[in-house]
Structures are given as C-alpha cells and as structure tokens.
Amino acid sequence: MSAPVISATMGAMNPLIGKLAALMGDEYKKLTGVRRQASFLKDELSTMKALLEKLELMDELDPLAKNWRDHVREMSYDMENCIDDFMRDIGGADAKMGFIKKTAKCLKTLRKRHRIADRMEELKALALQANERRMRYKIDDCTNSTNHVVPIDTRMLAIYKHTAGLVGIDGPKKELVSWLTDTREKLKVVAIVGFGGLGKTTLAKQVYDTIGGQFSCKIFLSVSQRPDM
C-alpha cells in the first residue's frame, strides 16, 4: 500500500488521519484515553479535510478562507510530528528484559503515557479552535456555488465565434495554413504568440476548422493558466 501523499494544499492531513486511525487499532487498545482522543481528532480533521478539498478546487480564495487553510495545513504538520513522537515512544516491553529493567521501563512508559495524554488534549484544543474559526469566519460559505462567481475563460468564448464576425483574421489564417500544409517538413510546431486579447485562440480555432480534416489525427485543447496535470 502506498503512503498517503502530503500536498501543498492539504499539508500532512492525509497521513495524519491515517496515523490517528492506527492509534484506534488493537495495538493501542490499552490506551483507552488516547484512543478516545484519537477518535475525536480523526472525526474533526476529516471534516476539515473535506473542506480543504473543496477549497483546493477554487481558482481564487477569499483572504479569510486562505488564512484558515494555511493555518490548518501548518497545524497538520505539528500534529503529525506529535503523533510520530508518541508512536515511537510507546512500544512493547522486550520479553527478554529482566524484572528490574522491565519495571523501570513500565514506569518510564507510564510517564510517557501521561505526557502524551496531555499533548493529545492540547491537540484537541487546537482542532476545536480551528473549527471555531471556521464557523466564526463562515469559511464554508466560500465554497457555496451560489455565492461564488466563477469567471468565464475568454478563450472559450473565442472558440465559438463565427467566421463572419471576425475582422482582419484572413491574412494570418492563410499564413498559418500555408506553414502547416507544407509537406516538406514532417514534424513542426507553430506558435501563436502575443498578449491577452489579441485573438490567438480564435485564430488557432479558425485554422483548425479549415485544415483539420486533412490530418489523420487531430485535437484542439484549451489549457487553463492553472491546469490540473
């Protein structure tokens, strides 16, 4: 099984939730207090993760939502470090260990358990604070489609423009068609370069419609400025 991925937006949320689930397993069944706190944290963080996934799909974020997302992301790293320390510190006693050493180890482990229990309480408080900020700043409203205006990509509008309504495009189109139908070169790349609003996408679509049928394989693909690779 592959390890959960840490992403720029989600932080360590995915691996953190996985480790909290592990704390709820049979290996830690004697640590009832810690398991209870782990269960609470897992539920709280899962709801935050669902909201982070929605925020990740948005091109522009409200400053408050961005601040909350960044705070939760950093919190996930701190929480994961804490859980890693805990899982490393709590281990089974060596069966070959002598009675005195085993007793000393148990006492040391007990102190560690108290310390981690206190730390889990602190993590719980952090999670509650993050959720309180979420409610106070109405972060969920930022993902409400009825309140969020989605900008229209002007290139998509250019694709559907009718030829009759285009002015000054015939010359550049003929030049591009000439280059692309020149069979002396088997492979070529033709770039249309210019600042926004010049009509680059419109020109490319007109050339595509004009000579696309001459090729056995063709595709017209519009890629956004922030593509999901």
Q: How far apart are CA 211 and CA 173, in angstroms?
A: 11
Provide the 3-class DSSP secondary structure of residue 2. Answer: coil
Whether the predicted pLDDT of 110 surpasses 60: yes
Strand partners, 7: 11
Q: At what angle do helices 170-180 and 200-211 cross, to 10 degrees?
A: 50
| Tokens found for residue 56 | 């990740």
Lowest-confidence segment of 34-38, 64-68, 77-81, 165-169 by average pLDDT: 165-169
Q: What residue spans define the domains of the chain?
A: 13-143, 154-214
Q: Note the pLDDT tens digit of each residue in 146-175.
A: 444 455 555 555 555 555 555 567 888 888
Taking the model in full, what pTM does it have? 0.54
Q: How far apart are CA 75 and CA 158, in angstroms?
A: 44
Provide the 3-class DSSP secondary structure of residue 11. Answer: strand
**What pLDDT shows up at residue 43?**
93
Query: pLDDT-based confidence at 1, cuts 50/70/90?
Result: very low
Q: To the nearest whole number, what is the mean pLDDT of the chain?
A: 77
Q: How far apart are CA 203 and CA 192, in angstroms?
A: 9
Q: Note the pLDDT tens digit of each residue in 170-223.
A: 888 888 888 888 877 677 888 888 776 677 888 888 888 888 888 888 888 877
Q: How far apart are CA 113 and CA 37, in angstroms?
A: 13
The answer to whether the beta carbons of residues 214 and 187 sit under 8 Å apart is no
